[in-house]
Amino acid sequence: MAADLNIPTAPAIDGATHLHSGKVRDLYELPSGDLLMVASDRISIFDFVLDTTIPDKGEILTRMSLWWFDQLADLAPNHVISTDVPDAVRGRAVVCERLSMYPVECVARGYLTGSGLLDYRATGEVCGVALPAGLEDGSRLATPIFTPATKAELGDHDENVSYDVVASTVGADLAAALRDRTLAVYARAESIARERGIILADTKLEFGARPDGTMVLADEVLTPDSSRFWPAAEWQPGRTQPSYDKQIVRNWALSPESGWDRASGEAPPPLPPEVVERTRSRYVEAYELLTGQTW
């Protein structure tokens, strides 16, 4: 059973019909049949959407995705049709294609951390891929690996699965295509990020199919919400790495300062202004370092 995430009601947009809301994005249908995908300023941790928002977050995510789509255009077509959107959501929304989404979270890992680290410590493997002994939190892998996950219902956890599970779900040919495309995107993005002093530890991608079967890169891509970005100069295996994402919020929520008992099942309390600003600053910093553009 999916958890109640307390996602706020999506705002009405003239001429658009609301279809669905996730932790961060709201999806609408336009009269043309195309989709309007809006990135909000919502932030979620531990399967709770917080009451506190992060100013400019939705626009940062949208602009960063658009920048990355341009960098990857020769590797994978993407779902963006236009950035000509209603004024109410200008800057934080795109008009995109309606696709048949593949039921796979396509994850590439170049470094060991997060759920991959937990799997490795338990089994010596990540999603069925055996790794050498002695790796630590933050260790760089000799070769990036494809570590897919199932798409969970909203509020549930995605579940790491083996490549064989993906092949049995979507077929061997499509599984191989998803793996190869995911690793190609990761390799390109990892190289670009490294040139800018950022380590791309891992990333989650989503793909869908056009009516003619063309595989298309969709949703967000290579943002701090879907990827782990670390400052390269501060990388030190064997510890939790500083990151350009919402780790600041997670750390605060788990600290005595917040007064939150995670085991209670209740949502975390509102974020203090200083945590909001520090989090916003990390998103802005990641955007500026990666794109070379001033926010």
What is the C-alpha separation between 244 and 226, in angstroms, rounded?
Answer: 11
Q: Which of the residue ranges 6-15, 148-157, 224-233 has the most confident prediction, judged by mean pLDDT?
A: 224-233
pLDDT band at 143 (very low <50, low <70, confident <90, very high): very high
Longest dimension (CA), the chain: 57
Q: Which residues of 37-58 are buried (b: 16+ CB within 10 A; e: fewer)?
A: bbbbbbbbbebbbbebbbebbb
pLDDT in tens, 187-227: 999 999 999 999 999 999 999 999 999 999 999 999 999 99
What is the C-alpha separation between 239 and 113, in angstroms, rounded?
Answer: 10
- pLDDT for position 9: 86
- pLDDT for position 71: 98
Res. 186: pLDDT tops 50? yes
- pLDDT for position 153: 61
- pTM here is 0.93
pLDDT band at 151 (very low <50, low <70, confident <90, very high): confident
Tell me whether strands 25-29 and 17-21 are parallel, antiparallel or unpaired.
Answer: antiparallel
Beta strands per DSSP E along 74-151: 80-82, 93-96, 100-101, 104-111, 125-126, 129-130, 140-146, 149-150
- pLDDT for position 112: 98
Res. 157: pLDDT tops 90? no
What is the C-alpha separation between 65 and 219, in angstroms, rounded?
Answer: 9
Using the 8-state DSSP alphabet, how is residue 78 labeled? Answer: B
Res. 110: pLDDT tops 60? yes
Complete domains list, the chain, with CATH: 17-99+252-291 (3.30.200.20), 100-234 (3.30.470.20)
- Out of 130-134, 152-156, 242-246, 273-277, least confident range: 152-156
pLDDT in tens, 55-104: 999 999 999 999 999 999 999 999 999 999 999 999 999 999 999 999 99
Selection from 140, 221, 212, 154 nearest residue 188 by Cα: 221
pLDDT in tens, 61-73: 999 999 999 999 9
Q: What is the mean pLDDT of residues 121-145?
A: 97
* C-beta of residue 200 within 8 angstroms of C-beta of residue 110: yes
* C-beta of residue 164 within 8 angstroms of C-beta of residue 176: no
User: For the chain, what percent of residues have pLDDT higher than 70?
Assistant: 96
